[in-house]
Chain A
Amino acid sequence: MLEVANISHQYANRSHWLRRIPPTPVLNNISFTLEKGCCLGLLGMSGAGKSTLGNIILGLEKPTQGQILFEGQDLYRVNTPTRHRIRRDLQVVFQDCYSAVNPLMTAAQIIGEPLDNYEKLTSVQHKQRVKQLLEQVGLRAEDGNKRPHQFSGGQLQRINIARAIALNPKLIVLDESVSSLDMVNQMQILSLLAELKKTHQLSYLFVTHDIRAAMTICDRVMVIDQGELVYQDDMHQSMMQSNHPAVQKLIAAILPEHPSERIVFDHQV
């Protein structure tokens, strides 16, 4: 469904007229495919280029090289109406739920905005659909009248998810969507996402630095480090055996589930 082919990307640096600063490379020759109904975890440390790759796939940032093929169409080479059509199948949920919504709009307006843009619904149908969406993500219909500051982080992230699924998209990019929530909320949102994936046959690109979260929801994982794809597989088990230093670092940083399994620090020996 989604094919990422040889993507390389650089960020241009502002140069002085006497001294040219070379652009900073962020992604180097990344290729992978994502099938329908699959959740692909994109792991890496901060600054590895995870979010940049996510933005490129969403069509927010034109890559310096390479192609993004969504159902066979190159996202950056199609004409505007086609792109408009493709965009409805690509949605996103960001990490910071508060800055992802307009604080002046009510929850119902936030969720209804994509419907206004893409679907011609009567006001009754519109209301009906928003109500249905709110209920799907575990909120009450009355919550539609509240504004973002009246919600907790977990509830607001549910609203972001409701907005993302409003148009029945095919792919949702989850860019650190659960990282800022507390554990209980994280697990609730993850199980909601897993359920929605089943009922809507969604695909996810789950961008995260937390292996524990990735393992609870992903079917496949990839690891990128300094713009390079260093690991890609569908079985978590073999990730443990991968000997790439970046992968090992991530694995070694998994915190224990129980005090008896503590990581031994070198100053203790």
Chain B
Amino acid sequence: MTAGTDHVLEVEHLQVQLKSNAGLIPLLEPLRFKLQKGRILGIVGESGSGKSLTCHAILRLLQPRQMEWSGTVRLNGRDLGTLSDKEMRTIRGKEIGSIMQNPMNAFTPVYTIGSQFVETLRTHTRISKQQAIQQAIEALASMNLPDPHKLLKKYPFQISGGMLQRVMIAISMCLKPPLLIADEPTTALDVVNQLQVLRELDRLRYECGTSIVLVSHDLGVISQLADEVVVMYKGQIVEQGEVAQIFDQPQHEYTQMLLRSRPTAIIDRLSSSTPIEL
């Protein structure tokens, strides 16, 4: 660990190129951003702008046969690029949690939730199976999921997408990673589940001090949760700053267009009635 950095994540000159017959095609122009402890960084951009690619590059999940990447990604001062694949595997999950867009694909359908939960916990921490089950039950209960005991015996396809996504967050909560990468965590969910997932993400940040990289194309999600925003367009960061600043004084025309495409009708209608409370 290098002394003097309070940044959990530092990304510098991160660049990704696609290997093709016609040579290297740049997919990500050199990116640069930092994230402090307990903060949430929102990445917005249209589909195909390189949001997910950035996440995969941070996690070093790119296919080396297809992609070439360069630049430095530092987690708590440690350069992830210099680690071996084996070391990287211990970091994924334990130090960088990740939540993917489609929770159905993130679990294997042939094992129960419980066995996948316990497997993840025991890979990263030295605990007995009983302890792991106990932890899992506590984490699921804190996630407001009903009947954790029964839930552990179920298969992924037997429960809804929103519940699965909360199981994913529960796993992350047990491992208390300093960084969580949430790639479109609510896109596949309905609005009520969406709010629940956002609430739990926020709780993870409050209780464990986790920093979160939150990728979304929904400005509602960003304005609810993010502290800082990075706007991506065609593989480049076109704008970055505090969330209020991006919303109030968007500089880049793409950001302005994004803000214009919010359904604004709702605001006038809501302002006339009582404010929303939970």
Contacts and interface: CB of A to CB of B under 8 A. Distances in A.
B262 interface: yes
A259 B223 contact: yes
Given A185-B46, A257-B262, A263-B278, A46 B269 contact: no
Interface in A228-269: 236-237, 240-241, 249-268
A212 interface: yes
A257 B266 contact: yes
A213 B257 CA distance: 17
Contacts of B190: 45-46, 209
A104 interface: no
Contact of B263 (A45, A47, A180, A187): A187
A157 B218 CA distance: 19
B278 A266 contact: yes
Contacts of A257: 219-220, 223, 262, 264, 266-267
Contacts of A184: 46, 257-258, 261
B278 A254 contact: no
B199 A265 contact: yes
Interface residues of A, number: 46
Interface centre among A46, A182, A240 (most CB of B within 10 A): A182
A186 interface: yes
A184 to B, nearest CB: 5
A236 B269 contact: yes
A252 B277 contact: yes
Interface in A209-231: 209-213, 215-216
Interface centre among A212, A237, A268 (most CB of B within 10 A): A212
A241 B273 contact: yes
Contacts of B189: 46
A195 to B, nearest CB: 16
B219 A253 contact: no
Contacts of B191: 45, 209-211, 250, 253-255
A26 to B, nearest CB: 15
B263 A212 contact: yes
Nearest to A251: B276
Contact of A260 (B194, B244, B276): B244
B217 interface: yes
Contact of B194 (A47, A236, A253): A253
Contacts of B219: 183, 257
Contacts of B206: 267-268
A153 interface: yes
Interface in B226-278: 226, 243-244, 247, 257-258, 261-267, 269-270, 272-274, 276-278
A109 B162 CA distance: 38
A259 B243 CA distance: 7
B221 interface: yes
Contacts of A258: 223, 247
Contact of A267 (B194, B203, B221): B203
A215 B262 contact: no
Nearest to B225: A262
B231 to A, nearest CB: 12
Given A152-B48, A153-B47, A183-B217, A255 B258 contact: no
8 contacts: A180-B187, A212-B263, A240-B272, A255-B191, A255-B218, A257-B267, A259-B243, A267-B207
Interface of A: 45-47, 152-154, 180-188, 209-213, 215-216, 236-237, 240-241, 249-268
Q: Nearest 3 pairs between A and B by C-beta?
A: A255-B220, A182-B217, A209-B190
Given A255-B195, A257-B220, 5 more contacts: A45-B191, A152-B48, A209-B190, A254-B191, A255-B218
